[in-house]
Amino acid sequence: MLLEFSCSNHKSIKNKIMFSMIAGKDDTDEDTLFEYGNNKVLNSAIIYGANGSGKSNFVDAISFMKTMVIDSLNYQPGKPLRQETHKLLSLNDDSVYFMQFITKGIRYAFGFTLNKCLIKEEFLYVFPNGRQQKIYERQEENIFPGDKYKNKFELCKSALKPNKLLLSCAANFSQIVDIMNVFNFFRDELVVYSNEHMSNSWMGYSLKTIQANSKVKQNVLKLLKYFGTGIKDLNINIKGTQLKENDLPTFLSDQDKLEIIKQNTTLINAQVMYDQFSVDLLKEESKGIKKLIEFVCPFIEIILKGKVLICDEIETSLHESIVYKMFEFFKTTKMISDEFPQIISTTHDTSLLKLDLFRRDQIWFTELKKTDRSTDLYSLAEIKNVRKDENILKGYISGKYGAIPMLNESMESLAKE
């Protein structure tokens, strides 16, 4: 589970922002929290803010950190890293990324610093018995292992380059259990969903899983019923086939036809069954139902395996009542799973702003600072004099908490200009 994330100098994020899933002193819905040591951890959070205030950049920073861990080993020598700085800073200024999390019941802290599109610093700590213990620290290409990890990184030295994380190298060239725990957390347990980039792969995964596993299909149908879709059944038939020359357009060259024929093609027939009729999922169904079906299998897996789901605008193409039920579902996961899944999403859906759904420390805001148009991130719990019975929606719309567009011009004044 995610405990904390912070970063600086990433797109609109200039100065350090800190996001936390560690619960505050509020005693609301304490039975939904996860206890770890002296802390209690939240299961969900939402982030509001005006367009262009940095919500998507917050998600992008987490996605960038995940990508660096998974892929940097494969970067070719001399390849610069993607260091996208704030407009008032430069590549000479540090871009810093930090995450604290729990995996396999163990707390870790990992972070790195970029400068001039290369890795300047990197560190990994573990907290056995609550006390910080160094696994390694890195300064450019120099490795400083902790006492327990002496001589454990010898094979990594030849693979390590200024554009490769030591964590990525060590996951492939060492046998350190803590390294694998952390690498696997970023690869498998930290799930970042983007409407733009993940849709096709999630739809394919969901349809194949529903066809292959009857138990999963039963759970999918139960969840779709819980969301009030009216769907009674899903008939999925996926099979591989091979195109014939007559199936291809005549304007293609003979060479191109041969290349295409060599490739296997997947045919998908997916029917959504209602009470009195069926609908072709891919050709006739609404965007909302498509989004829900593509989302449902990963959603179930995230809950049952205790993963962390990071979304950018989860409500896209979904009715507000379904999004409400998704977050409501996370409040009850203790009843159906021994794991502790989390969901964190940016959103514009103000219907979620209810204190019977979220605690004050689960509601976050992004706002652009007037001085330099950099992103500020803060939670409702940090704002003074917010009562437990306050109408949060009314307060947000009125601008009490900030993080809304500053609409100072009336239509009348614009017309006069």
List the single range of 141-145, 164-168, 292-296, 373-377 with lowest mean pLDDT: 292-296
Instruction: Assess whether pLDDT exceeds 60 at residue 414.
Output: no
Give the type of residue at 32.
T
Give me the number of domains the chain comprises. Answer: 2
Is the same domain home to 260 and 147?
A: no
Query: What CA–CA distance (Å, rounded) separates 252 from 246?
Result: 11
Say if CB 34 and CB 1 are below 8 A apart: yes
Selection from 329, 341, 330, 344 nearest residue 377 by Cα: 344
Q: What is the pLDDT of residue 348?
A: 92
- Which residue range is the domain that position 180 belongs to? 2-194+348-397
Residue 74 DSSP label: G
Q: What is the pLDDT of residue 413?
A: 54
Q: What is the pLDDT of residue 361?
A: 95
Q: What share of the chain in percent tops pLDDT 90?
A: 62
Which residue, of 303, 332, 357, is where some domain finishes?
303
Report, as an integer, the average pLDDT of 56-77.
95
Query: What CA–CA distance (Å, rounded) separates 417 from 402?
Result: 28
Say if CB 160 and CB 142 are below 8 A apart: no
Is the same domain home to 80 and 134?
A: yes
- 318 within some domain: no
Q: What is the pLDDT of residue 411?
A: 47
Which residue, of 239, 269, 303, is where some domain finishes?
303
- 273 within some domain: yes
Is the same domain home to 41 and 176?
A: yes
- 321 within some domain: no
Q: At 261, is the pLDDT very low, low, confident or very high (cuts 50, 70, 90)?
A: low
Instruction: Assess whether pLDDT exceeds 90 at residue 319.
Output: no
Is the same domain home to 210 and 288?
A: yes
* 145, 351, 383 from 162: Cα distances, Å: 18, 47, 42
Q: Which residue has the higher pLDDT, 262 or 399?
A: 399
Instruction: Assess whether pLDDT exceeds 80 at residue 365.
Output: yes
Selection from 146, 127, 152 nearest residue 4 by Cα: 127
Say if CB 85 and CB 99 are below 8 A apart: no
Q: What pTM does this model have?
A: 0.89
Is the same domain home to 121 and 189?
A: yes
Is the same domain home to 98 and 155?
A: yes
Q: Which residue has the higher pLDDT, 281 or 411?
A: 281
Is the same domain home to 17 and 32?
A: yes
Q: What is the pLDDT of residue 333?
A: 79
Q: What is the pLDDT of residue 408?
A: 53
The residue to which tokens 């992004």 are assigned: 366
Is the same domain home to 358 and 384?
A: yes
Report, as an integer, the average pLDDT of 10-15.
97
- 319 within some domain: no
A 10 A CB-CB count for 5 gives 22
Is the same domain home to 182 and 247?
A: no
Q: At 404, is the pLDDT very low, low, confident or very high (cuts 50, 70, 90)?
A: confident
Burial 41-58 (b: 16+ CB within 10 A, else e): bbbbbbbbbbeebbbbbb
Say if CB 223 and CB 322 are below 8 A apart: no
Instruction: Assess whether pLDDT exceeds 80 at residue 78.
Output: yes
Give the type of residue at 361.
D
- 325 within some domain: no
The residue to which tokens 């367009």 are assigned: 51
Is the same domain home to 71 and 140?
A: yes
Q: What is the pLDDT of residue 204?
A: 86
What does residue 266 show for φ and ψ, rounded to 5 degrees? -100, 125
The per-residue DSSP string of 247-307 comes to: GS-TTS-HHHHHHHHHSEEEEEEEEEE-SS-EEETTTTS-HHHHHHHHHHHHHHHHHHHT-
Instruction: Assess whether pLDDT exceeds 90 at residue 257.
Output: no
- 416 within some domain: no
Q: What share of the chain in percent tops pLDDT 70?
A: 92
Q: At 165, is the pLDDT very low, low, confident or very high (cuts 50, 70, 90)?
A: very high
- 342 within some domain: no
Q: What is the pLDDT of residue 41?
A: 95
Which residue, of 303, 338, 363, is where some domain finishes?
303
| 342-362 pLDDT tens trace | 999 999 999 999 998 999 999
Report, as an integer, the average pLDDT of 363-371.
93
A 10 A CB-CB count for 194 gives 15
Report, as an integer, the average pLDDT of 265-281.
89
Q: How far apart are the first and last CA of the chain?
A: 53
Instruction: Assess whether pLDDT exceeds 90 at residue 381.
Output: yes
| 200-255 pLDDT tens trace | 678 888 999 999 999 999 999 998 998 889 999 999 998 876 667 777 777 777 77
Is the same domain home to 83 and 101?
A: yes
Is the same domain home to 40 and 24?
A: yes
- 222 within some domain: yes
| 133-158 pLDDT tens trace | 999 999 999 999 999 999 899 888 88
